[in-house]
A = this chain, B = another copy of it.
Amino acid sequence: MDEKLSFACDYEKGAHPNILKRLVETNMMKTTGYGLDEISESARNRIRKACGCDKAAVEFLVGGTQTNAVMIDALLRSYQGVIAAETGHISVHEAGAIEAGGHKVLTLPHRFGKISAEKVAAYLEDFFHDASHEHMVMPGMVYLSQPTEYGTLYTREELVAFRKICDQYNISLYVDGARLAYALSYPENDVTLGMLAEVCDAFYIGGTKCGALFGEAVVVPNPEKIPHLFTIIKQHGALLAKGRLLGIQFDELFRDDLYMKIGKKAVMAAEKLREAMREKGYRLCFESTTNQTFCIMENKDLERLGQKVRYEFWEKYDHDHTVIRLATDWATTESEMSALIGLL
């Protein structure tokens, strides 16, 4: 327990109360394991509906790194690699989970966490024109995160451009939606779940960072694309015995638009924070959209702030300045907001 205010990340509290309530209500039910229960099936159907895709396969996994490792293995052949931003979660912060599955992460330079379809197209064109490309790792899919690790968003138009490239080279498109609630509910966002289901070979809807205790919902719009996904999940040690725990959480998150409401709350708090910071002359950076706010702070100011507030160190800016991240979430309260703004 921490006496400080904390805006360090968006997974420091438990779950949205609706989820806990349902867990308590269903606790003494006996159901079949491994997600084959009726609550999980209900959750699947809510997600299919939200995505406008009746035939989609929906599988529930426990965490983000796990989901990425499973899905990348599922989408690639043994000799293929995955294209990602050099700042992508899979490139940096997954302790080599992708390589442990035998796949190289093929990194491209980013701009505020994003890569562009043009750069991917150029990469692919160069690759297949290289006389020695059969001695190299063949790119088999593109990994994007929405929002990115910098909180930035791809637009509908950008995603369509990625799809076009992927079709041209017959490779897969996958979107990591660990914080998808905060993207979907961001005012300027124009990418819906339905659109993701149209352009992606697979994507996941994040629960852990968006109000669940844990859990990520994988959507495969065209299930024939990945036969035996259940076995692949099991092989990765990613199959939850009491699978209904995941079903319960997503059944709640997709009941009465809770997932969107959770996102909206965090995003509005972040917008309010950014407004306050701009007013007080703070130097925001990386566009700072969705629920994450990045700021270049003087080290001496930061030291003072750090005595009262937990933040995330992002990177050194220069000798005297540091980039930090402040994250709001589904559980950020008015009083926390006031306290933080008061301290700025």
In the bound complex, residues from chain B placing their C-beta under 8 Å from that of A162 are none
> Are A228 and B79 in contact, CB atoms less than 8 angstroms apart?
yes
Pick the residue among B96, B134, B232, B238 that contacts A104 (CB under 8 A).
B96
> Are A237 and B23 in contact, CB atoms less than 8 angstroms apart?
no
Known: A24-B24, A213-B245, A241-B11. A96 touches B69 (CB 8 A): no
Known: A66-B237, A95-B79, A97-B236. A231 touches B11 (CB 8 A): no
Pick the residue among B2, B24, B102, B313 that contacts A31 (CB under 8 A).
B2
Number of copies: 4
Binds B, one of A13-21, A51-59, A111-119, A278-286: A13-21
| Interface mask (A28-53 → B, CB under 8 Å = 1, otherwise 0) | 11111100001000000000000000
- Interface residues of A: mostly helix, strand, loop or mixed? loop
In the bound complex, residues from chain B placing their C-beta under 8 Å from that of A137 are 95-96, 99, 235
In the bound complex, residues from chain B placing their C-beta under 8 Å from that of A99 are 81, 99, 102-104, 137
Enumerate chain A interface residues (CB-CB to B < 8 A): 1-2, 6, 9, 11-15, 17, 20, 23-24, 26-33, 38, 62-70, 73-74, 77-79, 81, 92-97, 99-105, 131-132, 134-138, 208-209, 213-214, 228, 230-232, 234-242, 245, 313, 331
**10 pairs of A and B residues whose beta carbons are closest in the complex:** A66-B237, A14-B27, A95-B234, A12-B30, A96-B137, A95-B235, A99-B104, A65-B237, A99-B99, A96-B104
